[in-house]
């Protein structure tokens, strides 16, 4: 933690940056004043808010977006990470336009759903059967239910700081303080069956299985912690999870909503060479349109089959009006086909490593406690006393809270935008160029230099 004098210096620096933000975003401020009349907090999703009001986007193209005041930003948020090809990708628009003419929503079976499923399964061999949903949250809800039904057990193990959407059983210990409920309205009777472990902690895995092993239905984990800090798992952690799940007949679920088709065509499971029983997908597979999916071992997935399981107490329900919507599937299929053709993953890894390595070396050169984490197109930035290995360290070893807001605003006035204000995770698209990366590093260096002056005074 900073001493009072340095906090004051930091506050002055923040005020200076904030004034520039307010000066350059007058139209956004005006829109926000109207937005607050109709939406709680003025926004359609609370994480889209940042202090004192967010920018309002007017249009977006490639990796750039423009706000209501015509400021141009390089976007490292990309529609919550969904737009791996960047905004308004021409082939996606063309494919969707064609599909619009053929039908926006059938509500019946259609060939595209099979073609799309096969394409996903070709890249994810652990997915032997699949079902589509409309969001990652929904997919996680179903997959949890499936695991409980299959194992006939109650307990779910998740990671502290892991985000799987706001389904009651999974909206547990996502943000600090971790000893409080994450949202009002959650019943303890429900969350008491959700156990948490620290990301990358093998001893936590051993402990939770030793105590609860025979009652654990599943362990659900993001192989790269996303909203919890863009922190990659150590392979050993995932391997041990796999071993313990096997030993205790619990299911291992990878939530690859962020990592699916982002860290490789085969997701994080291929990168780590550790395979789950069930996989959850979302974001990228919708090509910029709403989607989610879950899939895995045939024997588990077949529990959804009403023909096979006529007794409803044995089978698992899954459905939804817009499931397998042809617009999302068209955009998603085209996206995956382009990723197959372009194979951007080596470049993603090179760009990511460059930011992480140079960022870390700049921070150490200027003696600032700032750490860059991440993997293949996912970058986390932490103002912590050490490089975080999990969300607890990412949150609890912070040496200042204001620094996060300050850095976020500093980037915005430098025409770089990422989310979130409280936990920076930057995502790349195929539209980011090496000059975007150079520019990002310049802004980071500029910031670090100014910060080191402020902290030295
Ligand atoms: N899982 C992970 C890993 C996510 O990052 C998210 C969303 N950011 C979700 C699930 C929830 O997905 P959705 O917002 O589509 O419901």
| Residue 398 C-beta-side C-alpha neighbours within 13 Å | 18
Question: Which atom of ligand 1 lies nearest, measured to the CA of 291?
Answer: 15
The structure tokens listed for 87 are: 């905004």
Q: Distances in Å between the alpha carbon of 30 and those of 48, 49, 54, 72, 325?
A: 17, 15, 11, 18, 36
- Tokens (6 digits) for 415: 């025409």
Report d(CA 220, CA 98) in Å as an integer: 38
Looking up tokens 């949903």 gives: 133
Q: In a 10 Å sphere around its CB, with 0-12 CB exposed, 13-18 middle and 19+ buried, how is residue 43 labelled?
A: middle
Question: Can you tell me which atom of ligand 1 is nearest the CA of 138?
Answer: 16
CATH 3.90.1150.10 domain position(s) in the chain: 4-75+344-456
Rounded distance, CA 444 to CA 448, Å? Answer: 6
Mean pLDDT by 10 residues, the chain (457 residues): 80 97 98 98 97 97 98 98 98 98 98 98 98 98 98 98 98 95 94 97 98 97 98 98 98 98 98 98 98 98 97 96 98 98 98 98 97 98 97 96 97 98 97 98 98 87
* Residues in CB range of 300: below 8 A, 6 or more apart: 146, 147, 150, 251, 277, 278
**The domain 90-342: what is its CATH number?**
3.40.640.10
Q: Is the pTM of this model over 0.85?
A: yes
CA distance 278 to 129: 10
Q: What is the pLDDT of residue 120?
A: 98
Identify the bridge partners of residue 64 per DSSP, sorted by sequence position.
Answer: 61, 74
CA of 5 to the centre of ligand 1 (A): 40
Where do the CATH 3.40.640.10 domains begin and end in the chain? 90-342
C-alpha 49: how far from chain center: 17
Angle, CA 454 vertex, CA 450 and CA 457 arms, to 5°: 140
Query: What number does the ligand 1 atom closest to the CA of 259 have?
Result: 3
> Other C-beta atoms within 10 Å of 420: how many?
16
Evaluate whether 89 touches 257 at the Cβ level (below 8 Å). no
| Sequence-distant (≥ 6) Cβ neighbours of residue 456 within 8 angstroms | none
| Distance between CA atoms of residues 29 and 68, nearest Å | 9
Task: With CA atoms as reference, report the closest residue to 327 among 354, 291, 303.
Answer: 291
DSSP 448: H
| Selection from 380, 124, 354, 142 nearest residue 261 by Cα | 124
By most ligand atoms within 8 Å of CB, the mutation choice from 143, 165, 172 for ligand 1 is: 165
Which residue's CA lies nearest to atom 14 of ligand 1?
Answer: 136
Ligand 1 atom with the smallest distance to the CA of 256 is: 3
User: What is each CA distance from 456 to 9, 36, 335, 408, in whole angstroms?
Assistant: 10, 40, 48, 21
Show Cβ contacts of residue 413 under 8 Å, excluding neighbours closer than 6 positions. Answer: 17, 20, 21, 24
Cα distances (Å, whole numbers) of residue 313 to 111, 139, 149, 206, 262 = 31, 21, 9, 33, 37
CA distances to 128, 216, 300 from 314, rounded to whole Å, are 21, 19, 12
Quote the pLDDT of residue 448: 97
Give the pLDDT of residue 1. Answer: 63
CA-proximal residue: ligand 1, atom 12 (nearest): 136
Q: Which pairing describes strands 64-67 and 57-61: parallel, antiparallel, or unpaired? A: antiparallel
Q: How far is CA 144 from CA 13, 150, 335, 437, in A?
A: 46, 10, 28, 39
In DSSP terms, 421 is beta-bridged to: none
**48, 143, 163: residue to mutate for ligand 1 pocket, most atoms within 8 A of CB:** 163
Residues in the chain: 457
Fold of domain 4-75+344-456: 3.90.1150
For tokens 């960022």, what's the residue?
Answer: 359
**pLDDT at position 4:** 77
Q: Which protein residues touch ligand 1 with a CB less than 6 Å away?
A: 80, 135-137, 140, 163-165, 222, 226-227, 255, 257-258, 282, 292
Which pLDDT value is given to residue 3? 74
Cα torsion through 269, 271, 272, 273, rounded to 10: 70
């Amino acid at each position: 933690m900073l001493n009072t004098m340095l906090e004051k210096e930091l506050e002055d620096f923040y005020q200076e940056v904030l004034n520039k933000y307010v000066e350059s975003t007058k139209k956004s401020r005006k829109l926000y004043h109207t937005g607050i009349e109709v939406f709680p907090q003025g926004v359609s999703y609370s994480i889209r808010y940042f202090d004192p009001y967010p920018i309002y986007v007017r249009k977006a193209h490639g990796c750039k977006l423009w706000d209501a005041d015509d400021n141009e930003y390089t976007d490292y948020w990309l529609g919550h990470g969904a737009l791996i090809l960047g905004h308004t990708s021409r082939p996606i628009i063309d494919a969707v336009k064609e599909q619009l003419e053929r039908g926006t929503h059938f509500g019946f079976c259609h060939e595209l759903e099979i073609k799309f499923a096969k394409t996903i399964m070709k890249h994810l061999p652990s997915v032997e059967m699949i079902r589509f949903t409309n969001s990652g949250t929904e997919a996680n809800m179903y997959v949890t239910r499936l695991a409980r039904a299959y194992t006939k057990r109650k307990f779910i193990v998740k990671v502290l700081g892991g985000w799987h959407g706001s389904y009651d059983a999974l909206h547990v210990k996502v943000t600090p303080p971790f000893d409080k409920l994450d949202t009002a309205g959650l019943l303890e009777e429900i969350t008491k069956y959700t156990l948490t472990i620290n990301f990358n902690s093998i001893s936590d895995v051993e402990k939770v299985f030793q105590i609860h092993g025979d009652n654990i239905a599943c362990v659900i984990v993001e192989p790269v912690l996303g909203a919890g800090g863009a922190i990659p798992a150590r392979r050993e952690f995932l391997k041990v999870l796999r071993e313990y799940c096997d030993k205790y007949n619990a299911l291992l679920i990878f939530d690859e909503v962020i990592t699916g088709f982002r860290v490789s065509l085969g997701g994080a499971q291929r990168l780590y060479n550790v395979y789950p029983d069930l996989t959850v997908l979302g974001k990228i597979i919708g090509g910029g349109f709403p989607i989610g999916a879950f899939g895995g071992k045939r024997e588990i997935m077949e529990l959804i089959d009403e023909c096979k399981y006529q007794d409803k107490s044995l089978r698992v329900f899954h459905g939804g009006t817009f499931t397998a919507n042809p617009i999302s599937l068209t955009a998603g299929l085209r996206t995956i086909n382009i990723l197959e053709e372009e194979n951007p993953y080596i470049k993603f890894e090179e760009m990511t490593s460059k930011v992480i390595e140079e960022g870390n070396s700049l921070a150490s050169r200027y003696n600032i406690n700032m750490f860059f984490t991440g993997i293949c197109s996912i970058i986390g930035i932490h103002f912590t006393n050490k490089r975080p290995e999990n969300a607890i360290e990412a949150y609890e070893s912070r040496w200042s809270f204001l620094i996060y807001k300050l850095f976020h605003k500093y980037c915005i006035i430098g025409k770089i935008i990422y989310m979130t204000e409280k936990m920076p995770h930057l995502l790349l698209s195929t539209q980011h160029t090496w000059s975007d990366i150079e520019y990002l590093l310049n802004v980071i260096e500029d910031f670090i230099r100014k910060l080191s002056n402020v902290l030295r005074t």
